[in-house]
Amino acid sequence: MSEPRADRGFTLIEVLVALTIVAVGMAAVMGALTSSASTAAYLRDKTFAQWVALNQIANLRLSGQQPPTGKSDGDTDFAGRTWHWQQEVVTTELPGVERIDVSVRPADLKVDSDDKGWVTTVSGIWGDAVGTPNGWQPDWGSQTVGGPQAGPGGSTTGGNPTGAPTTPPTTQPSPRGTR
């Protein structure tokens, strides 16, 4: 009689099933890594594009000159890359105040139309003061450190370091029925 075989190895089918499971798992892991890498690249580009747009708005504000209404565009180098921006300046209902919309995309991005492919659009405001100052300042509490001439709470002017009135100006109603 022959002795029973003591070999305890994997059969060819078991090895093929195991390799198939590993291949499917590795494909899923590679897909997740690719998706994560492309998302990180997109977020990096979006962040840089927003910084380019904010820099453009800041440059307009710091120039001290009112930007002309309408569209303009240009290129700028930032973070080792060239970015194409387009700004549109429109007047608002408030006199002296304009809205600035700046759209940015990588300059190497090929698009069919100028209105497509923008990575981000940032809006800003340029203009004069909206309200006329009237000298009234709210009482924000103690603003100075108490000294020898300080009143209760350590404040010499009631919480207003300029000494201006701390209550809003009021108008007296006109007397009715008097001539």
Helix (H) or strand (E) holding 40: helix 12-63
Q: What is the pLDDT of residues 28-50, one digit of tens each?
A: 999 999 999 999 999 999 999 99
Express as a percent the part of the chain with pLDDT over 70: 66
> How many residues belong to the chain?
179
Reduced to 3 states (helix: H, G, I; strand: E, B; else coil), residue 122 is strand
Q: Nearest CA to 169 among 137, 130, 132?
A: 137
Which pLDDT value is given to residue 116?
75
Residue 66 is predicted with a pLDDT of 84
Q: Are 100 and 87 in contact (CB under 8 A)?
A: yes
Strand partners, 76: 83
Domain boundaries, the chain: 42-127
Going by pLDDT thresholds of 50, 70 and 90, the confidence category of residue 159 is very low
Level-2 CATH architecture, domain 42-127: 2-Layer Sandwich (3.30)
Task: Supply the pLDDT for residue 179.
Answer: 46
In the chain, beta strands by DSSP E: 70-78, 81-91, 97-106, 120-127
Tell me how far apart the alpha carbons of residues 99 and 91 are, in angstroms, rounded to a whole number: 6
* Distance set, CA 178 to CA 15, 16, 55 (Å): 109, 107, 61
Asked if the model's pLDDT at residue 22 lies above 90, the reply is yes
How far apart CA 85 and CA 73 sit, in angstroms, is 5
